[in-house]
Structure 1
Amino acid sequence: MELGRYLPSLLSAILLLSGCERTQITDTPAKEYGDRIVAPYGSWQSPLSAVNVFEQADSVAELQSVGNAIYFAESSGKSQGKVGIKRLDKNANVIEVVSPEFNVKSTVHEYGGAAFLGIGQSLFATKLQDQLFYRFAPNQPPLPLTPNGTRHADCIAYPKGSRIICVREDHRQEGEPKASLVTINLNFAGEGDTFVSGHDFIASPTISPDNTQLAWITWEHPYMPWDNSVLWLGDLDRKGQLKNIRKIVTPEHSSVTQPLFSPDGQLYVVADISNWWNIYRVTSAGLLVPVFTKNAEFAVPDWRLGNHNYAFESANTLIASYVEGNQAALIRIYLDSGLTESLAVDFAEITQVIKGEDGVYFVGAKATPEQGVYQVVGRGTELVYAPALPKLDPNYISRARNIAFTTGEDQQAYGYFYAPVNPKYVAPHDTRPPLIVMLHGGPTARASLAYRSDIQFWTSRGFAVLDLNFRGSSGFGRAYRQSLYGKWGQSDVEDAINAAKYLVAKGWVDGSKLAIRGISAGGLTVMSSLAFYDVFHAGVSYEGISDFEQLAKGTHKFEAGYLDQLIGPYADNPSRYRELSPLNHLEGFNEPLLIFQGLRNQIVPAHQSQKIYEALKAKGVPTAYIAHDDEPHGGRKPEHKAAGLEMELAFYGKVFQFTPAGKLPELVLDNAAALH
C-alpha cells in the first residue's frame, strides 16, 4: 500500500499496528499536521540514540537443553558486548551461570559458535581471551582443560568415561591450523585423544541415543561448507572406540549440514540436493530419503558452528523451521504420515531449535521489537524469555515493504524498503528522503525482516533504508546463492545500483541523495559501486575489501578457498583479481567515502582499508578513516558501534547538506572542501 503523504499521528499509529506499509513520502501544507515540525529529511530529532541502539541491546543464541533447564548464551550491551551463560528453568526463572566478564566465545573458523556445553551440574565453555576450554563446577574455580594454542567448539557428551567430544582447531604448528575431533577429559587438563582427523574442516558431531553411532560433517579446500560437504557415520564399540567409518554418498557438489539422530536411532540430515536445504532421513543402506519437500531453506550457511533448524519432539514428530521468501515459519512434521502442521508464520528469523525436557524451544525474532527464547506450546508458540532491547514508541517504527526488481542478466534481486517514520516531523513540500542501501556481509549472508534498532535509528531521522539481498544471498536456494560465483564484485554491485535506480523511479527516494553502506564483503560492494558507477553520492565501508589480490595472498583458513568460487582461482587469472579491485580503479572514484576498521581484524586485515583511504586522500576525494586498536572483525564494543553510527550521521549531514539533530562527535573529513 502506497501512502502519498503523512497522515495524522493517530491514524499513522493505527496503520502501523495493523501492518500497513508506508512507501512514498511527500507532504501537504503544514496546517494539516497540527504540531508537527517541518524539517528536512535526515535532520529529524529521534528518541532512539546510537547509545540506545547498541549499549541497551542484548541478544540470545546457542540454546542447549541440560537436565530440566535450558541454557543459552547472552550478549550484553551493558557488558560491552561480552557473552555470558544463563539458565532458564521450567518455571521461567533465569539465573546467571557464567558472567559476561568471562566472555564465552570460540574463534574456531574465526567466526566461532557452539562455545559451551552443559552436563549435569557442570558447564564447559571457551573463554575468548585465551581460547582455552574451561570446566565450571559448583563451588569450584573455573578449570582449564585444553592445551594452549588450541581452540574448541561444537562439543557433545561422550558415552564412555568422563570425557566429551569436541571440534578442535590446532594452531600450534606452522601453516594452517589442523582440524580434528578429539576427546577431552572432564576432570583434568591434558592433550586429549584424536578421534577423527585428515580433513581440512570438521563440524557437527552428533551421537545416537544408544551411544553406538557417531555422525559428523567434513569439507575440504577450496569449498565452503555450503558448497560441497560430506556426511560421515561410524560405530562406537564397547570401549568407545570409533570403528567402521563410512561416507554417506550424496550427489557431487551438494551441501549437507545439521546431522541429528531421532529418539529411535535413525540418522537425519539437511541437504540441498534439490536446490533447497530440505530434511532427509538416512536409510540403513546410506540413501537419503526426503522427509518433507518444499522450496524453502531448512538451514543456513554454516558461518558459525552449532546451527539447529530442527529437533525431534517425539519419535514420530519433528519440529522444523524454514525460510521461504521473506518469512520464517515453524512447522510440526508427522514422520509416519508426512503430514504437517503450522505452528508459527509471524517470525522473521527462527534459529536454535532444540528439544528440552518439557518441549521444543527456539530463538525467534519478529519484524516488531519482540525477540527471545520461545517454547512450542500445542499448535502455537510462547515467549518465555526476552532479552533487553531499546524501547521505541510504536509510532516511530518503520515497517518494511518487500521489493523485487529486475537486475543484470534479467534476474531478480530482493530487498526490504523502510520509509522514514517520525510522528513529530514532516518534510518540506515536494521533497523525497535520502536513501541508504545496506549491504550484508558474507557475501553469503542474508537480510531479513527481523526488527533492527539500527535501521530504525535512520528511518526515525528521516532516511529511507533498503536492506538488500543481492544475488549470492542465502535464503533463496542454492542456485541464487551460487549466482554470485565467478561474478563477485560485479553482480552484487549491479544489484545495488539497480536497487537504487528502482527506488528513484518509484519516486520513493531522492535520486540526488543516494548513500550505500556495508560491512566486510558488503564494504567491497560499497567501494566497487563508487569506483565503477556514477550512481551513489556517498559510501560507508565497515572493514571492507578494496584489494582482491592481497586478500587472495593472505586470509584465514576458513575462507582460504572462498575466492576460488567467488572470482576463480587466483593462479589461473591474477589479472582478473586486479581488474575487480576498487583500489586499482580510482579514476572514476569521486564520491566521499567514510571508512571504519578494527586493527585486530584477522579476516579483513587493516591494510585493505588503509590503502584505499591513503589513495583517495591523495586523489583529493573527501574521505575519513576511523580505526580502533582493540577491535576484531565486526567489532564488539557497543561504544565503538554507537560512535560509528553518530559519525556516519555527521558524514551524511556534510555530504547531503543538512544539519543532523543532537550533539554528534566531530568528524574531520580529508579534502572536505571538495564536497560542494
Structure 2
Amino acid sequence: MTITELPYGSWPTPITSELVVTASARLSELRVDGSDIVWSEGRPADAGRVQLVRRAADGTTTDLLPAGMNARTAVHEYGGAAWWVRDRVLWFSEWSDQRLYRLAPGADPVALTPEPAMPRGDRFADGDLAPDGSYLVCVRERHTGASATEVRNEIVRLAADAPSEPEVLVTGPDFVAAPRISPDGRSLAWLQWNHPSMPWDDTLLMIRDLETGEETVVAGGRGESVAEPRWQPDGSLWFISDRTDWWNIYRWVPDVDIRPVVRIDAEIGVPGWAFGSARFVVLPDGRVVFARQRAGFDGLAVGELDGSVTDLDLPFSAIGAVRATGTDTVAVVAGSPAAETGVFLVDIGTCDVGELRPPRDVGVDLSTISVPEAVSFPSVDAAGERRTAHALFYPPTNEGYRAPDGELPPLLVVIHGGPTSAAVPALNLSVQYWTSRGFAVVDVNYGGSTGYGRAYREQLLGGWGVIDVADCMAAAEWLAAHGRVDRNRLCIRGGSAGGYTTLAALARADTPFAAGASHYGVADLAALAADTHKFESRYLDRLVGPYPAARELYEERSPIHHVDRFERPLIVLQGDEDEIVPPRQSELIVDALRARRLPVAYLLFEGEQHGFRRAENIRRALDAELSFYAQVLGFELPAEEGIEPVTVENL
C-alpha cells in the first residue's frame, strides 16, 4: 500500500470525533436473572441516558425502559447500582426525579417512593431484595438544603411491590453502602465509613441481626478498606479487603473466624467511586472467579478449592463486572486493547468466549490501532527521594502515514480522574483519536493510583499536587530522553482531578509542557473544599490537609494563586451543571489567564454535568482540543473532516 509522508499530528484518520460517539455505548453493570442477562448501556447519542437491556436465552435483546426514562442515580454524585432485577421485575432510580420505580413485565413504571420535599432530594442506590421478595433495602441519600452538611446517607427498607414510606434501618455514619440481606432473611450486612475517610481508606463491614438488633463488626477499621460483601447459601459472608496491602478475597463464617480465600500480589478490588462493583463471584461448588489487576492490566482468574489460583487465557485487559451464569460459566463486561467493551459469556474450563453483547465494529483496521505498553519509570517523592511510577504508553499508529525523517511525535500526557483511580487499557477511541493522527499518548498511573497495592495508593496522602505532578513530568521527560517523543512538543491533559494536575503542572516554572487542556479541572483547592458535594467534601483532608488549618498549603497547591507562573497556552472545557467542580473553578483560571494576555480557549457546555455525556458535546470537545493543539504546535488539520476551529485568545 502507499505510505504518505505527513508531519505528526496532521495525519488523516478514520477515527474521527463522529466515530468516537456514533453507536457507542458505555457498558457497565451486569445482572443475571434466571436464564436472562441484563446490562446497562449509557448512550451518548440518546442525550447520554442509561438504558437497560435484557438478553433472553434465545439471544433476543429488549430495551427495558420506556422512552425518556434514565436508570441513573445521583447518590455520591457518581452514582452506580441504580437498578436491580429479579424474576423479570426491575427496580431502578430515575434520573429526572431520583425516585425509585418498579417496572413489571408488560406494565408501566410505578414510583415506590414519595415525592420528596426538595426536588430530587431523595436519591436511591445499591439495593437488595429480600429472599421472599416482600421488601427491599437500599441506600438513600436525603438532601434538605444546598450545602454538603445538609445531606444524610442512610439504609432504608421499603415494600418491594407498592408505594410506601421508607423505614430507616441504618443512620448515623457519614456514608453507607452495599446493604445485603442474608439468604435466611435474618441478617443485614453493609459497609460504613466516616469523614474524612474515603471508601478506599477505612471502612467497616457490619452485620445486624434483624430480629434482635444486635450488631457485629466483621472487618475493617483504621487502615483497612473493605468492599463487595456477598452472602453465600451456607450463611458465610465473602468480601474484599486490603488488610495485606492488596485488595484480596476473604470469607467470614459466623461464630468462627475470617479466612483468606484468594491471597495474591494483585488488585481484585477497585476504588468505590461508584456503587455496585462486581469483581468476584462464587460458583456453586465453592470456587471463586475474579478479576485481578496486575501491572495496569486486568485478567480473569479462578480460585480453586485447594487454594491455588488459575489464570485464564483470555483476551481481556479491562473487566468491569463478573457474574455467575452456571456451574462453569460466567458473564463479564470486558474489553481488550483491540476491542471496546462488550458483554461476554466465558467457559472457565475451556476458556471459550461467547459474545452476548458484541463490541461494536468500529470499522478500523487493527493496523491503525495503537496497543498500550506498560512502562515504569523513575520519579521522586516530595522529599526528592527516588521512587518508581507507572503508565500505559501508546505510540502513534496509522498504517497509511509516516512522519518526515528525523521528526519525533508530540506527546499527550493523560491524567485519569479521581485522583484515586487508574488508566483503563481497553480500546478507547478517545485515545485512538490522537494516536492515529500521529500523537503519542502516555496514560499515567501516578502515585495514588489504584492497581498497585495500598502502599502505592497512599503515596498521594498529603501529596496531591506534588506526587501526581512529579510523575506526569517524569513520564514525559523519560519518554523524551529515550527518543520516543519530541521534547519540545510535550502536552498535558486531564479531567476533574486530572484537570487539577494539568493546571498544577502548568503553574510550575520548570514545567516541560508546551500546552495543556483542563476538562472541568480544579483551580482553587480552598474553593473546592468549601463548595463541593458531601462525598468529597473532606477528601482533601488527607490529600492536602484539614481546611482551614492548612490554608497556606491549600494556597501553595492551588494553580489560581500562581497564575504568574503560567506561560503556556491552555484550553478549558466545562459543563455548566457540574456539581462536583462548579463552573466557577474553570472561570477563575480562564479570567486570570485573560488578564495576563496568555493564550487561552474556553468552552462551556450547556446541560452537562461532571463528564460530558451528550454526543454533540463529546465531539465538540475533542475537535476543539485538536484545533487548539494544531494552532499552538503548528500543524494543519485534515481538511476533509471539516473541524470547526476553536478561538484561542491572545495567540
Q: Distance in 2 between matches of 1:39 and 1:264?
A: 65
Among all aligned residue pairs of Structure 1 and Structure 2, give the percentage whose two residues are the same amino acid. 37
Structure 1 segment 100-499 matched on structure 2, within 5 A: 101-147=68-114, 148=116, 149-159=121-131, 162-172=134-144, 175-237=149-211, 243-250=213-220, 252-285=222-255, 287-335=257-305, 337-356=306-325, 359-377=329-347, 378-382=349-353, 383-388=355-360, 390-408=362-380, 409-499=385-475
Deviation at 1:387, TM superposition (A): 4.2
Alpha-carbon spacing, 1:560–1:370, altered in 2? closer, same or farther (3 Å): closer
Q: 2:644 is matched with which residue?
A: 665
Question: What letter corresponds to residue 639 of structure 1 in structure 2?
Answer: E
Decide which moves more: 411-420 or 168-177: 168-177
Q: Distance in 2 between matches of 1:271 and 1:449?
A: 24
Q: Distance in 1 between matches of 2:307 and 2:406?
A: 56
Question: What letter corresponds to residue 308 of structure 1 in structure 2?
Answer: A
Query: Secondary structure of the equivalent of 1:403?
Result: strand
Q: Distance in 2 between matches of 1:161 and 1:128?
A: 25
Query: Secondary structure of the equivalent of 2:213?
Result: strand
Pair 1:620 & 2:620 matched: no
Q: Distance in 1 between matches of 2:407 and 2:131?
A: 67
Q: Distance in 1 between matches of 2:132 and 2:426?
A: 42
Q: 2:13 is matched with which residue?
A: 46
Deviation at 1:155, TM superposition (A): 0.6
1:170–1:178 contact (8 Å) kept in structure 2 = yes
Gaps of 5+ in 2: none
Question: What letter corresponds to residue 93 of structure 1 in structure 2?
Answer: T
Deviations 1:320-340 (A, max 9, x none): 1111113212122223x2123
Q: Distance in 2 between matches of 1:321 and 1:534?
A: 38
Q: Distance in 2 between matches of 1:231 and 1:132?
A: 27
Structure 1 segment 592-671 matched on structure 2, within 5 A: 592-662=569-639, 663-671=642-650
Decide which moves more: 482-491 or 136-145: 136-145
1:150–1:171 contact (8 Å) kept in structure 2 = yes
Q: Distance in 2 between matches of 1:310 and 1:540?
A: 37
Decide which moves more: 205-214 or 299-308: 205-214
Query: Secondary structure of the equivalent of 1:483?
Result: helix
Structure 1 segment 78-117 matched on structure 2, within 5 A: 78-99=45-66, 101-117=68-84
2:532 paired residue among 546, 549, 555? 555
Q: Distance in 2 between matches of 1:595 and 1:669?
A: 11
Alpha-carbon spacing, 1:323–1:63, altered in 2? closer, same or farther (3 Å): same
Structure 1 segment 516-595 matched on structure 2, within 5 A: 516-532=492-508, 533-595=510-572
Alpha-carbon spacing, 1:320–1:276, altered in 2? closer, same or farther (3 Å): same
Question: What letter corresponds to residue 620 of structure 2 in structure 1?
Answer: A
2:525–2:557 contact (8 Å) kept in structure 1 = yes
Q: Distance in 2 between matches of 1:125 and 1:389?
A: 30
Q: Distance in 2 between matches of 1:547 and 1:247?
A: 39
Alpha-carbon spacing, 1:388–1:129, altered in 2? closer, same or farther (3 Å): farther
Query: Secondary structure of the equivalent of 1:87?
Result: strand
Q: Distance in 2 between matches of 1:390 and 1:134?
A: 35
Q: Distance in 1 between matches of 2:456 and 2:630?
A: 36
Question: What letter corresponds to residue 165 of structure 1 in structure 2?
Answer: V
Alpha-carbon spacing, 1:459–1:380, altered in 2? closer, same or farther (3 Å): same
Deviation at 1:380, TM superposition (A): 1.4
Q: Report the TM-score when normalising by structure 1.
A: 0.91
Question: What letter corresponds to residue 643 of structure 2 in structure 1?
Answer: L
Decide which moves more: 257-266 or 352-361: 352-361
Question: What letter corresponds to residue 139 of structure 2 in structure 1?
Answer: V
Query: Secondary structure of the equivalent of 1:504?
Result: helix
Q: Distance in 2 between matches of 1:387 and 1:196?
A: 41
Question: What letter corresponds to residue 142 of structure 1 in structure 2?
Answer: P
Deviation at 1:441, TM superposition (A): 0.3
Query: Secondary structure of the equivalent of 1:529?
Result: helix
1:55–1:639 contact (8 Å) kept in structure 2 = no
Deviation at 1:172, TM superposition (A): 3.2
Paired residues, number: 634
Q: Distance in 2 between matches of 1:190 and 1:139?
A: 22
Deviations 1:2-58 (A, max 9, x none): xxxxxxx6xxxxxxxxxxxxxxxxxxxxxxxxx221111111110111011123311
Deviation at 1:162, TM superposition (A): 2.7
Q: Distance in 2 between matches of 1:311 and 1:404?
A: 32
Query: Secondary structure of the equivalent of 1:659?
Result: coil
Q: Distance in 2 between matches of 1:234 and 1:145?
A: 25
Deviations 1:118-156 (A, max 9, x none): 122321111111111111123322111113221001111
Deviation at 1:300, TM superposition (A): 0.1
Q: Distance in 2 between matches of 1:105 and 1:392?
A: 32
Q: Stretches of 4+ moved more than 4 A in 1? A: none
Q: Distance in 2 between matches of 1:435 and 1:121?
A: 49
Q: Distance in 2 between matches of 1:465 and 1:611?
A: 28
Gaps of 5+ in 1: 1-8, 10-34
2:515–2:570 contact (8 Å) kept in structure 1 = yes
> What RMSD in Å do the two structures reach over aligned CA positions?
1.6
Q: Distance in 2 between matches of 1:361 and 1:140?
A: 28
Question: What letter corresponds to residue 517 of structure 1 in structure 2?
Answer: R
